[in-house]
Structure 1
Amino acid sequence: MTIHTDHPTTALDRRAPDSGERFPESIPRAAVQRVLDNDRRREVLRCLLAEDGPLEVRTLVARIADAETDATSVTPLLERRQRVHVSLCRTHLPLLEDHRILSYDRVRGLVSPGATLSAFESLLDVGALERPVGARLD
């Protein structure tokens, strides 16, 4: 593996190779890295891990849009939420569903934990599972 010093390290990179933690065989390392390389996808995972069951897409959109809100932003709330909704529904949720990390019911507008979601818990910042309202995403 080539180490690129210009790329930030992630939790996946910082894990000790002999830590005993095993990632599900069904998700290649490159796919895990792709999932964790995006702020919105990480936040989706955090929100699902913090919930006990399914989460409405509109609730997820509101949480992510609020977390991305900048005090100096002039973009109206509705427009921000529309942008987040489009990116989640067209890009992020389908990708996460493809890897069985979540289940996305487009008709009912629900996102449920998938078979491999729990494996990501150790890769995410556990202290950030429940972010305060208005907290910025990294």
Structure 2
Amino acid sequence: MGVGGENKFRRRSVESGSSTEPTDRPTAIAKDDAFHLLQTSRRRDVVRYMARADGRVELRDLAEQVAAWEEETTVESLSSSDRQRVYISLYQTHLPKLDEHGIVEYDKDRGIVERRRRARQLESYLAVDPVDATPDPWPRRYGVAVLLCVVFTGASIHEFGVGPSTGLALLVLATVGAVAVGHWWSKRDGSETVPSVS
């Protein structure tokens, strides 16, 4: 936490009548506050991004990635108006709100954002685990289901020959396979690394 951030923390603490020293354990976020903070997709995206970030990040990088997620494209393919629209929204509204609730430390003058420990409470609502991100098991489960369908369909054709039900079985097999591939394809983007600010 920078010097400005610490002064801001102390100023807030004095105004609220509490100790001026930060505690080791962050205070719990009320469920209503958590849902209010997570009601907009941009704030949810900020929490997700910061969960993967390594230390402080620049507002510009954060805004670009949030805009890319919104537009379902890459950062490189974004238009300048998309970048600016999200940047202004984060700068004026969303980051000050998250900073006010102790989710991030936002240095507006320098354009730097840093995740605070209290953010973990919101991450639990988003199923974000920054420390131990395990791969999604569903594509593998789909794959096993497709493999079993192939085995049973092959055994059925071998035993009973090709009939009207074989075409239906192959159609179901192709559908499940397409869903498995689509799910895997949509999830593979979630492993990108997040740049940090030194």
TM bucket (normalised to shorter chain) is 0.5 to 0.7
- Where does structure 2 lack aligned partners over 5 or more consecutive residues? 1-25, 129-135, 137-186, 193-198
Once the two structures are superposed, the pairs formed by residues 74-113 of structure 1 within 5 Å of their partners are 77-113=79-115
Distance (Å, rounded) in 1 between the aligned partners of 2:31 and 2:72:
33
**Match of 1:124?**
126
Aligned residues: 105
* CA distance 1:25–1:107, change in 2 (3 Å): closer
- The amino acid that maps onto 1:131 is G
* CA distance 1:124–1:65, change in 2 (3 Å): same
TM-score between both structures, scaled by the size of structure 1? 0.67
* CA distance 1:30–1:82, change in 2 (3 Å): same
- Where does structure 1 lack aligned partners over 5 or more consecutive residues? 1-23, 134-138
- The amino acid that maps onto 1:84 is V
**Match of 2:65?**
63
Considering only CA atoms, is the larger Rg found in Structure 1 or Structure 2? 2
1:63 partner SS: helix
**Match of 2:29?**
27
Larger relative contact order, structure 1 or 2 (CA cutoff 8 Å, min sep 6) = 1
| Aligned-residue CA RMSD (Å) | 2.3
TM-score between both structures, scaled by the size of structure 2? 0.48
Identity of aligned residues (%): 35
Does residue 1:49 correspond to 2:51, yes or no? yes
Structure with greater helix percent: 2
Deviations 1:23-76 (A, max 9, x none): x645322211111111100000000000121111000011011111157xxxx7
